[in-house]
Structure 1
Amino acid sequence: ADRERLEHALAQGDETHVAIELLALARSHPGSPIAQAAGERLQRLAKAALERAQAARGSDEAAERAALTIAYLATLEPESRKVLRARLEQLTRTEIFSRKRSVECEEYKVVPGDSLSRIAKRFRFPVDGIMHVNHMRRTLIRVGQRLKIPRGPFEVLVIKGEYRLIALQDGKWLAEFPIGTGRDDSTPEATFEITEKTKNPTWYAPDGVYPYGHPKNILGTRWLGFNDTEEHAGFGIHGTARPESIGRSESSGCVRMRNEDVEVLYGLIPTGSRVRILP
Structure 2
Amino acid sequence: MNFKHMTAAAVFAGLIAGCNVMGTPLPDPRLSGRDAEFMALAPQARVNSQFERYLVDYKTNEPVGSIIVDNNAKFLYYVMPGGKAVRYGVATGQDAMAFTGRAYVGGMQEWPRWIPPKDMLERWPHLQPTADAGGLPGGPDNPLGSRALYLYQDGKDTLYRIHGTNEPDKIGQAVSSGCIRMRDIDAIDLYNRVKVGTKVVVL
Aligned ranges 1:137-156 → 2 under 5 Å:
153-156=64-67
2:82 and 2:194 map into 1 onto residues whose CA distance is: 13
Deviations 1:158-192 (A, max 9, x none): 11110001110347323111000012342221011
Aligned ranges 1:44-193 → 2 under 5 Å:
83=20, 86=23, 89=24, 153-170=64-81, 172-193=83-104
Paired position in structure 1 for 2:179: 254
Kept in 2: contact 1:163–1:181 (CA 8 A): yes
2:201 and 2:71 map into 1 onto residues whose CA distance is: 11
Letter of the 2:187 counterpart = V
2:138 to 212, 219, 222: 212
Paired position in structure 2 for 1:199: 110
Answer 1 or 2: which has greater strand percent: 2
Structure 1 position 239 matched with structure 2 position 164: yes
Gaps spanning 5+ residues in structure 1: where?
1-81, 98-131, 139-151
TM-score (norm 1): 0.44
Question: For this pair of structures, how many residues does the alignment match?
Answer: 140
Letter of the 1:260 counterpart = I
Which range moves more in the overlay, 152-161 or 187-196? 152-161
Paired position in structure 2 for 1:225: 150
Distance 1:202 1:228, change over 3 A: farther
Distance 1:247 1:268, change over 3 A: same
Cα RMSD (Å): 3.0
Deviations 1:119-168 (A, max 9, x none): xxxxxxxxxxxxx6xx8979xxxxxxxxxxxxx84111111110001110
Kept in 2: contact 1:153–1:273 (CA 8 A): no
Answer 1 or 2: which has greater helix percent: 1
TM-score (norm 2): 0.60
Distance 1:235 1:257, change over 3 A: same
State the Cα distance separating 1:233 from its structure 2 match.
Answer: 1.6
Deviations 1:32-64 (A, max 9, x none): xxxxxxxxxxxxxxxxxxxxxxxxxxxxxxxxx
2:109 and 2:174 map into 1 onto residues whose CA distance is: 24
Greater relative contact order (Cα < 8 A, sep 6+): 2
| 3-state DSSP of counterpart to 1:166 | strand
Structure 1 position 277 matched with structure 2 position 202: yes
Distance 1:184 1:168, change over 3 A: same
